[in-house]
């Protein structure tokens, strides 16, 4: 079991469902801690699983992920830090919790009736749908009676087994295989490689996987919305009450919504053609320029994945790209912008990347100080696309309409109004195709997330 001491709330997604039982003898059980001893030690031990929707292992720093952010925030509310213990499989995770090796199990656990009988759970914090995921052009059992035709592999000990057992009551020919592990992602990759016809994954993981492996398709939903919750050691006096109170506050304060948006809200509607083209170009174009993006990012407060994602949105990584308005190169710079940032050849990949990154950094510094957090970056990216003047106009209009001028979510709704004469005629910089920067930012966020996940 891998261990990390954690820090403040970080960032990226959540794991899957969980186990049933084990044939091996149960491990020795430790005497339970109390909330007081947890606070005295300054440490909350969080059991979890590695995967793109829970914990992402980073070579050069602490782990990140949806469950990491959530656990860090809960630990901070207790005045302690979280230490993450990563189990190798779902059964291992539950065994560790039963043995007293952790205080909570935060791994996107589906709250099923079977589990509720033997485990204590926190309040529900998210809902997902269990989806049957298959390969485009292969076996595609869209109807339940076709399920026995498919070679189905699912995560051992997961709620997916419970779902299949329930379906098997009326479809008695249904069979499936299981594999151990902590995430359904390897099984999704196995389906993509043709090692199985189908697997089952939670909807947010399936959505993520299809953007890395565009030949995957969702054949059908197998359940309605399923609640996710943390399991916890019920022997720890006061822990259940602390979890209930904290999750209520996290919901009321918007933390759960914010984390959901950070990790799962960055993907728009699925576009097979766009995703397939992106994956191809990651393979055959990005390697030529990755070193240049990394070098530019080293000099500025941006990740290389962000700069690469922006360049893809601008030019599809084509250094000779040119628009009808005369912008050119990987970062599609105007002549005046190129002169401003000190480059003389917009079609030179290195100059274009350095110049585009410098221009984005300049815009970032010009964003009003009242715009903070990720919203500041989205504001700067939108200004790269539509111009800082129109962004200032959008802020004025947001204020006039009673919206939050410092919130990107609010500005994303206001910007399209800049093409409405009833509004743009009253603003300093006039007409703009305001829907374009909204889509521009959304696509960059999506491409950035996919690039950041390439090595998971």
Please write the tens of the pLDDT for every residue from 47-83: 999 999 999 888 778 899 999 999 999 999 999 999 9
pLDDT given at position 270: 80
- Residues 257, 352 share a domain: no
Distance CA 156, CA 44 (A): 27
pLDDT given at position 12: 34
- Residues 146, 102 share a domain: no
Split at pLDDT 50, 70, 90, the class of 2 is low
Q: Say whether pLDDT at 20 is over 50.
A: no
Q: CATH no. for residue 327?
A: 1.10.530.10
Which letter, b or e, does each residue of 284-301 get, where b requires 16 or more Cβ atoms within 10 Å of its Cβ? Answer: eebeebbebbeebbeebe
- Residues 117, 18 share a domain: yes
Range of the domain at 282: 276-452
Distance CA 386, CA 445 (A): 17
- Residues 435, 297 share a domain: yes
pLDDT given at position 16: 30
How many domains is the chain built from? 3
User: Does residue 269 lie within any of the structural domains?
Assistant: no
pLDDT given at position 9: 38
Catalytic residue among 299, 314, 399, 446: 314
Distance CA 42, CA 36 (A): 10
Cβ contacts of 188 within 8 Å, gap of 6 or more = 133, 199, 201, 205, 206, 209, 213, 216
Q: How much of the chain is helix, strand and coil, in % rounded to 5? A: 45, 15, 35
pLDDT given at position 269: 75
Residue by residue, DSSP assigns 374-422 as: HHHHHHHHHHHHH-HHHHHHHHHHHHHTT--TT-HHHHHHHGGGGG-HH
- Residues 415, 293 share a domain: yes
pLDDT given at position 211: 87
Q: Say whether pLDDT at 25 is over 70.
A: no
- Residues 397, 360 share a domain: yes
User: Does residue 341 lie within any of the structural domains?
Assistant: yes
Residue by residue, DSSP assigns 282-343 as: HHHTHHHHHHHHHHHHHTSSS-HHHHHHHHHHHHTT-TT-B-TT--BTTTTB-HHHHHHHT-
Split at pLDDT 50, 70, 90, the class of 24 is low
Phi, psi values for residue 91, rounded to 5°? -60, -40
Distance CA 261, CA 331 (A): 27
- Residues 112, 147 share a domain: no
pTM (predicted TM-score): 0.76
Average pLDDT on 381-406 reads 98
The alpha carbon of residue 55 and the mean position of all alpha carbons in its chain are separated, in whole angstroms, by: 11
List pLDDT tens digits, range 222-267. 999 999 999 999 999 999 999 999 999 999 999 999 898 888 876 7
- Residues 158, 40 share a domain: no
User: Does residue 361 lie within any of the structural domains?
Assistant: yes
User: Does residue 243 lie within any of the structural domains?
Assistant: yes
Distance CA 117, CA 97 (A): 15
User: Does residue 182 lie within any of the structural domains?
Assistant: yes
Which range is least confidently modeled, 8-12, 26-30, 247-251, 444-448?
A: 8-12
Split at pLDDT 50, 70, 90, the class of 17 is very low
Take residue 79 and report the two structure tokens written for it: 């005045």
- Residues 290, 172 share a domain: no
SS (H, E, C) 45-107: EEEEEEECCCEECCCCCCCECHHHHHHHHHHHHHCCEEEEEEECCHHHHHHHHHCCCCCEEEE
Q: Which residue, of 206, 236, 264, is where some domain finishes?
A: 264
- Backbone angle region of 387, left / alpha / beta, with phi > 0 → left and psi within -120 to 50 → alpha: left
Average pLDDT on 125-151 reads 94
User: Does residue 24 lie within any of the structural domains?
Assistant: yes
Split at pLDDT 50, 70, 90, the class of 451 is confident
Average pLDDT on 374-402 reads 97
- Residues 254, 221 share a domain: no
Average pLDDT on 373-386 reads 96
314 classed as catalytic: yes
Which range is least confidently modeled, 53-62, 171-180, 292-301?
A: 53-62
Q: CATH no. for residue 215?
A: 3.40.190.10
Residue reference for tokens 């509607």: 269
Percent of the chain with pLDDT over 70: 92
- Residues 341, 259 share a domain: no
pLDDT given at position 67: 97
User: Does residue 21 lie within any of the structural domains?
Assistant: yes
Distance CA 125, CA 70 (A): 10
User: Does residue 271 lie within any of the structural domains?
Assistant: no
- Residues 442, 391 share a domain: yes
């Amino acid at each position: 079991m891998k261990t990390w001491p954690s820090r403040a709330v970080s960032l990226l997604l959540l794991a899957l469902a969980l186990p049933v039982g084990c044939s091996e003898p149960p491990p020795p059980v430790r005497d339970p801690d109390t909330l007081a001893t947890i606070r005295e030690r300054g440490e909350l031990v969080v059991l979890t699983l590695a995967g793109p929707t829970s914990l992402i292992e980073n070579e050069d720093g602490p782990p990140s992920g949806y469950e990491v952010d959530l656990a860090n925030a809960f630990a901070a509310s207790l005045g302690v830090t979280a230490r993450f213990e990563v189990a190798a499989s779902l059964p291992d995770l539950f065994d560790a919790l039963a043995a007293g090796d952790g205080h909570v199990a935060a791994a996107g656990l589906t709250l099923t009736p079977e589990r509720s009988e033997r485990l204590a759970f926190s309040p529900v914090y998210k809902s997902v749908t269990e989806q049957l995921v298959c390969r485009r052009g292969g076996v595609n059992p869209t109807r339940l009676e076709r399920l026995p035709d498919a070679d189905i592999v699912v995560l051992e000990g997961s709620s997916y087994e419970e779902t299949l057992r329930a379906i098997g009551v009326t479809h008695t020919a249904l069979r499936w295989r299981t594999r151990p592990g902590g995430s359904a992602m390897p099984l999704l990759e196995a389906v993509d490689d043709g090692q199985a016809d189908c697997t089952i994954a939670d909807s947010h993981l399936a959505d993520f996987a299809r953007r890395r492996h565009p030949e995957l398709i969702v054949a059908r939903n197998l359940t309605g919305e399923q609640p996710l919750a943390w399991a916890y050691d019920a022997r720890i006096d006061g822990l259940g009450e602390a979890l209930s109170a904290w999750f209520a506050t996290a919901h009321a304060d918007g933390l759960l919504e914010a984390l959901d948006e950070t990790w799962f809200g960055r993907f728009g509607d699925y576009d097979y053609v766009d995703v397939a083209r992106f994956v191809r170009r990651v393979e055959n174009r990005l390697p030529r320029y990755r070193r240049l993006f990394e070098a530019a990012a080293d000099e500025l407060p941006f990740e290389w994945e962000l700069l690469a994602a922006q360049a893809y949105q601008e030019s599809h990584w084509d250094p000779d790209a040119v628009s009808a308005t005369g912008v050119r190169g990987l970062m599609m710079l105007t002549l005046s912008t190129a002169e401003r940032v000190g480059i003389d050849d917009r079609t030179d990949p290195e100059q274009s990347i350095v110049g585009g990154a410098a221009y984005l950094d300049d815009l970032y510094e010009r964003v009003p100080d009242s715009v903070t957090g990720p919203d500041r970056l989205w504001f700067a990216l939108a200004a790269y696309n539509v111009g800082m003047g129109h962004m200032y106009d959008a802020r004025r209009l947001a204020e006039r309409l009673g919206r939050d001028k410092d919130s990107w979510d609010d500005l994303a709704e206001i910007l399209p109004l800049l093409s409405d004469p009833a509004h743009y005629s009253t603003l300093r910089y006039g007409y703009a195709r305001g829907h374009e920067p909204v889509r521009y930012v959304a696509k960059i966020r999506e491409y950035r997330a996919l690039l950041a996940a390439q090595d998971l």
